[in-house]
């Protein structure tokens, strides 16, 4: 090893800076001005030509026809404009981009228009308080919207779906646990049957309950029959969704539990189910949302009444979708308006359930919320303190004798 005896000379030279000038940000955007111009130009040209078609040249009519023709023309013009400065594959790429975007926009438009239209047509009855607190027993065909409401529909929907959920959730979740925890020929067969049953048209579920419970057992039209029909329909949906969620639970977690000496039951109860909790909740909520909106099983099993009925075991009962279905087929404008009001209420319930499902679910198995994380941290801090105290005691006892 050599020892440096002299300080090395400073040899670093500072390069000459170029004269200061404003730096120009490089554009990294993938959209060029010509792209935008081509889009706008094609749009304007399509609009103009379509207007010409519809007003002067051909006997076209109707809003939808206008949009369809304008869209086709727009695609043609856009392809033409882009092809002036791009090659074939690039033109196809641009066209497909436009088509994909418009498919997504069309779908969103349809969704928004369905929801907005329901609320818009339902706004009149929803303004009246009596819409929420009365049933239709006093509302004659010519009465205005300030008489009568859909309380019986709301009550019926809540009662029916509560019973259906009480039936579906324990059986459905247990069956899903069975499918994922006891693999074998038997559970494979059950899974096949369940998958087949997701294809069961809801009207067939209603027909089955109508023929068995309503007619053969002589229960007559009742809320409980409707709940049973909804359960038959919801059961495969819940089982399938829960089965998928349970299969996502990491095997390592379960093996860790077995390795620590946990039995099968304890592993399922303390590891598998808590890990999949948010997904299971989502599957139940989405199954409920499907069940709440079903009309056809209820149509065949619940009968129809204009009176509020709170007893699911006796007498006909209506739910919101069934009420909507009945009201919108009436020729009276007030009834139709009430039907839209009932549909809007139904949408409120479905939207509420949906938001709840998003808030609770949407996390992968084992992912915790902030609150859960804090709680876990607090528990492990307490454990650490307990261990520390215990160790102190031990060492104190160890020194004493």
Partner 1 sequence: MIDAPTQEQDAPRRLTTVTGAADRVFGAVSRLAGFVVLAVMSLVGLFLLYRGWQALSADGPRAFVTTRAWEPDSHNFGIAAVLVLTVLIALVAIVIAVPLAAGAALYISEYAPRRFKQTLISMVDLMAAVPSIVYGIWGLYLLQPHVIGLSRWLATWLDWIPFLSVDGFDPDDPLLSMSVFTSSTFIAGIVVALMITPIICSIMREVFSQAPPGEREGAYALGATRWGMIRSVVLPFGTGGMIGGSMLGLGRALGETIAVYLIISPVFEIQPNLLQTGSNSISALIALRFGEATEFGMSALMAAGLTLFLMTLVVNFAASSIVARTRSGAASEA
Identify which of residues 104 and 166 has a Cβ nearer to partner 1 in the complex: 104
- Cβ at position 354, least distance to partner 1 in Å: 6
Q: Mask: binding to partner 1, 319-358, rule CB under 8 A, as x and -?
A: --x--xx--xx---------xx--x--xx--xx-xx---x
Q: How far is the CB of 195 from partner 1 (least distance, A)?
A: 6
Reference 320, options 312, 331, 328; nearest CA is 328
Task: Number of helices (H) and strands (E) in the chain: give both, helices first.
Answer: 17, 0
Distance in Å, CB of 93 to partner 1, minimum: 4
Question: Considering the complex, what minimum distance in angstroms separates the CB of residue 191 from partner 1?
Answer: 9
Give Cα separations from 81 to 45, 53, 128, 142 (angstroms): 11, 21, 55, 59
The answer to whether residues 199 and 233 touch, using CB atoms and an 8 Å cutoff, is no
For 357, residues 6+ apart whose C-beta sits below 8 A from its C-beta are 281, 282, 285, 286, 289
Residue whose tokens read 């200061």? 20
What six digits make up the tokens of 182?
Answer: 């006891």
CB 348 within 8 A of CB 329: no
- The b/e string for 49-87 (b: 16+ C-beta within 10 A; e otherwise) is bbeebbeeeeeeeeeeebeebbbebbbebbbebbeeebe
Q: Please select the residue that binds partner 1; options are 51, 97, 311, 392, rule is CB under 8 A.
A: 97
Angle at CA of residue 291, ends 289 and 293, nearest 5°: 75
Minimum distance from CB of 33 to partner 1 (Å)? Answer: 20
**Which among 10-18, 204-212, 305-313, 384-392 is the span making contact with partner 1, rule CB under 8 A?**
204-212
Nearest to partner 1 of 107, 310 (CB atom) = 107
Q: Where does this chain touch partner 1 (CB under 8 A) — which range of 131-139, 144-152, 205-213, 369-377? A: 205-213
The binding track of 116-135 with respect to partner 1, each residue x by CB under 8 A or -, is -xx--x--------------
Pattern 39-68, partner 1, x by CB under 8 A: --------------------xxxxxxx--x
CB contact at 8 A, 270 and 249: no
Closest separation in Å from C-beta 130 to partner 1: 22
Q: Which of residues 237-256 bind partner 1 (CB under 8 A)?
A: 239, 247-248
**Under 8 Å between Cβ of 222 and 314:** yes
Candidate residues 42, 175, 225, 337; the one interacting with partner 1 per rule CB under 8 A: 175
Q: Which is nearer to partner 1, 144 or 201 (CB)?
A: 201
CB of 102 to partner 1, least distance (A): 7
Nearer to partner 1 (CB atom), residue 147 or residue 207: 207
Q: In this structure, are residues 206 and 297 in contact, taking their beta carbons and an 8 Å threshold?
A: yes
Least gap, CB of 391 to partner 1 (angstroms)? 33
> How many chain residues bind partner 1 (CB under 8 A)?
100
Which of 37, 108, 166, 217 binds partner 1 (CB under 8 A)? It is 108
**How many degrees, rounded to 5, is the angle at CA 314 between CA 311 and CA 317?**
65
Is 151 an interacting residue with respect to partner 1 (CB under 8 A)?
A: no
Is residue 385 part of the contact set for partner 1 (CB under 8 A)? no
Of 172 and 312, nearer to partner 1 (C-beta) is 172
Contact 223, 310 (CB under 8 A): no
Q: What is the DSSP letter of 214?
A: I
Reduced to 3 states, what is the DSSP secondary structure of residue 194? helix
CA angle 117, 123, 125 (to 5 degrees): 130
Q: Quote the least distance from Cβ 125 to partner 1, whole Å.
A: 14
Nearer to partner 1, 124 or 380 (CB): 124
Nearer to partner 1, 308 or 322 (CB): 322
């Amino acid at each position: 090893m050599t020892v440096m005896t002299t300080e090395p000379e400073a040899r670093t030279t500072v390069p000459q800076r170029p004269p200061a000038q404003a730096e120009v940000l490089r554009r990294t955007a993938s959209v060029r001005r010509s792209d935008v111009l081509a889009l706008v130009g094609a749009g304007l040209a399509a609009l103009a030509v379509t207007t010409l078609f519809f007003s002067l040249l051909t006997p076209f009519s109707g809003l939808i026809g206008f949009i369809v023709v304008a869209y086709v023309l727009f695609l043609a013009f856009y392809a033409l404009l882009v092809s002036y400065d791009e090659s074939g594959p690039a033109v196809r790429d641009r066209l497909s981009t436009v088509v994909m975007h418009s498919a997504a926009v069309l779908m969103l438009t349809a969704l928004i228009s369905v929801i907005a239209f329901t609320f818009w047509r339902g706004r009149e009855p929803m303004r009246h308080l009596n819409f929420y607190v009365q049933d239709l027993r006093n509302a004659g065909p010519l009465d205005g919207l300030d008489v009568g409401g859909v309380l019986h529909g709301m009550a019926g929907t809540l009662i029916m779906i509560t019973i259906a959920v009480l039936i579906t959730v324990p059986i459905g979740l247990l069956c899903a646990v069975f499918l994922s925890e006891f693999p074998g020929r038997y559970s494979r067969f059950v899974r096949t049957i369940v998958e087949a049953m997701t294809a069961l048209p809801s009207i067939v579920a209603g027909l089955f309950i109508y023929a068995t419970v309503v007619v053969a057992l002589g229960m007559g039209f009742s809320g409980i029959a409707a709940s049973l029909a909804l359960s038959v329909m919801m059961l495969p949906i819940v089982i399938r969704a829960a089965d998928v969620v349970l299969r996502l639970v990491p095997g390592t977690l379960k093996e860790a539990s077995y390795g620590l000496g946990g039995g099968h039951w304890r592993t399922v109860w303390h590891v598998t189910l808590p890990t999949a909790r948010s997904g299971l909740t989502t599957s139940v909520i989405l199954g409920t949302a499907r069940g709440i909106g079903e009309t056809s099983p209820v149509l065949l099993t619940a009968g129809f009444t204009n009176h509020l009925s709170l007893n699911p075991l006796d007498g006909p009962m209506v739910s919101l979708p069934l009420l909507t279905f009945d009201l919108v087929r009436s020729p009276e404008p007030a009834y139709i308006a009430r039907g839209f009001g009932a549909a809007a209420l139904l949408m409120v319930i479905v939207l509420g359930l949906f938001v709840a499902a998003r808030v609770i679910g949407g996390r992968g198995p084992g992912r915790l919320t902030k609150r859960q994380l804090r709680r876990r941290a607090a528990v492990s801090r307490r454990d650490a303190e307990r261990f520390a105290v215990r160790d102190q005691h031990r060492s104190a006892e160890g020194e004493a004798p």
